[in-house]
Amino acid sequence: METNIFKKVDLAISLVAAAGCDIEPVYFNQVAPDTFYDSKEAVWQRFYRPFTHARYTFAMNSDYFAVQELTTDEFISPVRGSQNADKSNIFYKMHYHDFPLYFSASYFVYNNRMLGISRCWATLDDLSQVNLKKFGFPDGTFDNWKAQMEAMVGIYYLEGLDCYGGLPLYPGSAKEEKPRSTAKETFYFIEDLLKKSIKGLEAKKAGEKEQGDIRQAAAAMALARLYFNAVSYIGVDMYDEAAKVCEDLIAGKYGAYELDADWTTTFGFNNENSKEIIWSIPNESSQLETDAYELWTRQMPANMRNYLGGLTKSAGNNYYCLTPSLDGTGKPYTYKLGSPFSKFEDTDVRKKPYRYLGNGKYEGMFFFGELVNPDNPSWKVTGTQEYYGKTLNLVDQVAQLSKGKTESNMNTGEENSGIRIIKYCPRPSSNDARLLFNPDIPLMRLSEAYYTLAECKMRKGDKAGAAKLINEVRKRYFEGGNDPNPVTAGNLDQWRMLDEWMVEFLGECRRRTDLIRWNQYITGEWWDHQPDGGVNSYKKLFPFSATHLQISKVLEQNPGYEGL
């Protein structure tokens, strides 16, 4: 891939380090930013420090994936032999919406976002005191950087609002800790940040590649997300506002974007060329490696490298899988929610076993069936527990089939239980190992604007208009555009809408938010998850961890968790 902002900061660090070799230290009583940042490379390094934190927060740390996906009908982490056997693993508990105060995932989700906010404001404090012209930066550079930091802060706060409700609001660096504001105050604080940032950001021009910087469309997409879920956040219907932002995104007001004709262009090895991606985290072999939320490692069996001809860095610990579509006898579940693999049409080009085709091309978005290298059958993924030494056959079930048992719940998994997804970070074969980790991690893409606008239209009674938008995205997944089950005004209801969100955005850290918007997160039933009941509606928000409560002087716990 081409040089991107994260690669620039690596270069800056290298240059600064090289310049500092064999030089005696010089001590100052006070060091002003304009003195300390004494080269263009040092200035770039300072500006991009918040992006390295964003890289970790938005594309590497698994905790946000856990709270948004493992608490829903899409993914699970069941007991598999000795794995999760004590049932104390938080990823196991989350399926049942068991959120204790020592909830580590909640700790890191909150911590990473508040720390990110702090780093954005600190960066602006430092760079506001630097004479950028002295280093050859063009006029308007600081205004653009300020807008990027404001947008990033808005996105951090948006995810925090989604998970916790009202938050401590910091319009800039602060020495004193602030108490929580209300959800409504937090909402409008985010809106103001995002609106201001859009004015100072650049719009993507046709033909430009994604490099990880924040442009107008990213702030606009975040604003659309805010409005789209306003009923959940503050009890105010803002679907019209969300629709307007999405219409503008699709029309190109915020930059040149269009749907990719091939989904592997969006997620594949050269996806910096994608026309659909609005914001992504750059990724590159041997330099900026991430599996996206550790999804490969946490999903795949231990010997998974054999499927790819012995590809390095491809072992797994076999925790996550998709929620099953079939019970222990092979009968399909009839729940409205869940069963993600079965929600894909059989002719959908994504519903194939993953296969690397060479030259950066691949097909299939899942691992299922016998895990045998499709090009060399002597390479097989063998089991280490119930199927020790045998070729693993991944099934869309969770049951102790090796023992002839059919009971299916979170306690009855085996190492072959569940379908695995390879949406982010597809793997090459060992022959093309240089491509490993080359796919960037998409955080926002234009198809979200299509689906958001579709749901807004649906809620306003225009089901035909909604169906047209969804089908515009769906058609790329079928040979010749021959969709066997297109969305129509007649079949579009809340369940079909939720299924469409699931199929298009499976694993993209939004399922919990979608279920809450449709009032199904607490009241819905799927596989081994029973409705929480109205008395537990407080679980739509997560608790602040005991650690944060202990070190804070003013942080107040969310209602419902005080007695834990």
Q: Which long-range contacts (CB under 8 A, 24 or more apart) does 391-396 make?
A: 392/301, 392/303, 392/416, 393/369, 394/321, 394/367, 394/368, 394/369, 394/418, 394/419, 394/420, 395/326, 395/368, 396/322, 396/324, 396/325, 396/326, 396/341, 396/342, 396/368
Dihedral sign from CA coordinates of 129, 135, 136, 137: negative
Q: Is 152 left (phi over 0), alpha (psi -120 to 50) or beta?
A: alpha
Q: How would DSSP label each residue in 422-475? A: --SS----GGGGGGTT-S-EEEEEHHHHHHHHHHHHHHTT-HHHHHHHHHHHHG
Dihedral sign from CA coordinates of 157, 253, 501, 532: positive
The confidence score (pLDDT) of residue 7 equals 45
The confidence score (pLDDT) of residue 386 equals 93
- Our CA angle for 184, 187, 192, nearest 5°, is 125
Q: How would DSSP label each residue in 216-232? A: HHHHHHHHHHHHHTHHH
**Residue of 240, 146, 158 whose CA lies nearest to 198:** 146
Rounded Cα–Cα distance for residues 104 and 535 (Å) = 24
Is the whole model's pTM more than 0.85, yes or no? yes
End-to-end CA distance of the chain: give it in Å, rounded: 49
HEC sequence for 159-195: HHHHHHCCCCCCCCCCCCCCCCCCHHHHHHHHHHHHH
For residue 341, what are the CA distances in angstroms to 75, 125, 533? 11, 48, 27
The confidence score (pLDDT) of residue 89 equals 79
To 10 degrees, the CA torsion angle through 523, 527, 529, 530? 50
The SS3 call for residue 112 is helix
Residue located via tokens 């629709």: 243
**Residue of 185, 187, 253 whose CA lies nearest to 220:** 253
Burial state string for 99-113 with b = 16 or more CB within 10 A and e = fewer than 16: bebebebbbbbbbbb
CA–centroid distance for 14 within its chain = 30
- 8 A C-beta contact, residue 353 and residue 369: yes
- 8 A C-beta contact, residue 400 and residue 414: yes
Paired with 374 in beta bridges are none
Q: How would DSSP label each residue in 118-160? A: HHHHHHHHHHTTS-GGGGTPPTTHHHHHHHHHHHHHHHHHHHH
Rounded Cα–Cα distance for residues 518 and 495 (Å) = 9
Residues 6+ apart with CB under 8 A from 387: 393, 402, 414, 415, 416
The confidence score (pLDDT) of residue 25 equals 35
Rounded Cα–Cα distance for residues 148 and 153 (Å) = 9
The confidence score (pLDDT) of residue 562 equals 83
For residue 299, what are the CA distances in angstroms to 27, 203, 385? 50, 37, 16
Exposed/middle/buried for residue 298 (C-beta within 10 Å: 0-12, 13-18, 19+): buried
Rounded Cα–Cα distance for residues 49 and 253 (Å) = 29
- 8 A C-beta contact, residue 468 and residue 319: no
The confidence score (pLDDT) of residue 3 equals 44
- 8 A C-beta contact, residue 67 and residue 105: yes
- 8 A C-beta contact, residue 225 and residue 158: yes
pLDDT, one tens digit for every residue, the chain (564 residues)? 344 544 443 433 232 222 233 333 333 334 456 657 889 999 999 999 999 999 999 999 999 999 999 999 999 999 998 776 666 778 889 999 999 988 889 999 999 999 999 999 999 999 999 999 999 999 999 999 999 999 999 999 999 999 999 999 999 998 899 999 999 999 999 999 999 999 999 999 999 998 899 999 999 999 999 999 999 999 999 999 999 999 999 999 999 999 999 999 999 999 999 999 999 999 887 677 888 889 999 999 999 999 999 999 999 999 999 999 999 999 999 999 999 999 999 999 999 999 999 999 999 999 999 999 999 999 999 999 999 999 999 999 999 999 999 999 999 999 999 999 999 989 999 999 999 999 999 999 999 999 999 999 999 999 999 999 999 999 999 999 999 999 999 999 999 999 999 999 999 999 999 999 999 999 999 999 999 998 999 999 999 999 999 999 899 999 999 866
Which runs of consecutive H residues, i.e. helices, occur in 309-374?
Answer: none
For residue 407, what are the CA distances in angstroms to 82, 329, 341, 397, 416? 18, 9, 20, 10, 15
- Within the chain, what is the greatest distance between any pair of CA atoms? 76
The confidence score (pLDDT) of residue 18 equals 29
The confidence score (pLDDT) of residue 425 equals 87
Strand pairing report for 361-363 and 366-367: unpaired
